[in-house]
Amino acid sequence: MPEYDVIVVGAGSAGLNTAINCAKAGLSVAALEEHNKIGFPRHCSGLYSTRFLSLMEVKEDFYEHEVFGAKFHPPSGKIIELMRKEKVAFVINRELLDDFLGKRAKECGVNIISNSKVSDFTADPNGATITTDKKTLTTKFICGADGSNSFIARSLGFKPPHRLHGIMAITKDEGHSNYVDLYFDNKLYPGFFAWRIPRGKTTEYGIAGETGPANVNNFNNFLAKFDVKKYELSSGVIPFGFQKSYSDRVLLVGDAAAQVKPLTGGGVIYGMICARIAARVFSDAISKNRFDEKFMAKYQKLWRSAIGKGIARGLLIRKIYSRMSNRSIDAWFSLLNNRVTKNIFENHGDMEFILERRPHATVLNQPSL
């Protein structure tokens, strides 16, 4: 008899949320984490829109700073500012958040096994096994939540259609401004942007783009603009686009399934939504004694129904933006710099408004375009 109903590979946000939801559904769950401590190393900035609070209980201890808007820096250097009187986003300490999720998972009965790097797995009609550098575990199902370079996804032959390469630096310079800075230039940050985020006691700088190794030089030049010399560096790959996320006895969640917003690279909210869906499918599969790929395919249909439109819209806008010259980008942002856009944001906006929703819709409705 299998030791577990579900083994989750990866104890990041997506994996822990999947484990918690599975445990709440009455399933026996283990979560494998290759590192010694949950939440390390740092992989994302931790800037979340206020919508995040509606999906998860977040303690105030996790807050590092509050954001009320953004300043856009197009290639021309003509700054466009969108601000609200109310908060639009929070900067959250991801290490504390993931540690909190780990403790909650343990309270729900999840067995978290640290220092366990997966080296092999099997999934067939007879069951599933996970082999780590310590031992082999048996399970009914496997959840691959092991990030953008997912071993589970690669072993199944699944890969995202698109990737961005990101680099991030945290400095000890205090950042107390109430807005984030976003820098757009398709020569320096092709297909994406650079950013500066105030984190209260620290400041974050980052860039992402489609050019891979060339990002390093662009990143160093970006830091030089602010005379940044000492910092904590991290980097990673941002997967996005629709990819297959299921197989016999296996589901992928979060970055492992490229469940990421194409415009911002954010995946925590999408990962939380898909974690709930995955837990429902695992529970349903066990109750119906179905372990085959045909049944597991319902997971892909459900998560695409939940977040697919947002991803498709983001992919379309990204495709347009990636082909734009800097001159076209300047023209685009000049159309944003009007009272109509600012009024909509001041009354209805959050961080997703700034980066994903209303601005492009407003621009497309402008008579001048």
The set of residues, in sequence order, having a beta carbon less than 8 Å from that of 222 and lying 6+ positions away, is 183, 188, 194, 205, 207
The predicted pLDDT at position 360 comes to 47
Over the chain (369 residues), what is each successive 10-residue block's mean pLDDT?
Answer: 93 96 98 86 75 68 88 94 86 87 95 95 94 94 96 97 93 94 94 94 92 79 94 91 97 97 90 96 97 97 96 92 95 80 67 50 47
Per DSSP (E only), the strands in 255-310 are none
Least Cα distance to 82 among 366, 363, 359 occurs for 359
Q: Is residue 246 part of a domain?
A: yes
Alpha carbon separation from 194 to 126, 185, 267, 332 (Å, rounded): 49, 8, 18, 17
Token code pair at residue 127? 């069951």
Q: Indicate which CATH number applies to the domain containing 310.
A: 3.50.50.60
- The bridge status of strand 4-9 relative to strand 127-132 is unpaired
* Torsion on CA atoms 114, 116, 117, 123, rounded to nearest 10: -120
Q: Which percentage of the chain shows pLDDT scores above 90?
A: 67
Q: How far apart are CA 245 and CA 303, in angstroms?
A: 10
Q: How many CA atoms lie within 13 A of 26 on its CB side?
A: 4
pLDDT, tens only, 273-326: 999 999 999 999 999 999 999 999 999 999 999 999 999 999 999 999 999 999
Q: What pLDDT is stored for residue 367 in this prediction?
A: 47
Q: How many structural domains compose the chain?
A: 1
Q: Tell me the C-alpha distance between 92 and 103, whole Å.
A: 17
The region, left, alpha or beta by phi > 0 then psi within -120 to 50, assigned to residue 277 is alpha
- Contact predicate 208/184, CB 8 Å: no
pTM: 0.91
Is 88 domain-assigned?
yes
pLDDT in tens, 311-368: 999 999 999 999 999 999 999 888 777 777 777 667 666 555 455 554 444 444 544 4
Range of 158's domain?
Answer: 4-322
Structure tokens at 223: 């830091």
The predicted pLDDT at position 58 comes to 67
Asked if residue 337 belongs to a domain, the reply is: no
| Strand order across the 47-49 sheet | 47-49, 89-92, 63-67
Q: Sign (positive/negative) of CA torsion 279, 280, 282, 286?
A: positive
Q: Is residue 287 part of a domain?
A: yes
Q: Do 155 and 296 touch, CB atoms closer than 8 A?
A: no
Task: State the pLDDT at residue 95.
Answer: 85
Q: Is residue 312 part of a domain?
A: yes
What pLDDT is recorded for position 145?
A: 97
- Nearest CA to 233 out of 38, 10, 37, 41 is that of 41
- Is residue 330, in this structure, part of any structural domain at all? no
Task: Return the SS3 of 12.
Answer: coil
Report if residue 339 sits inside a domain.
no
pLDDT, mean over the chain = 89
The reply to whether 302 falls in a domain is: yes
128 beta partners: 123, 139
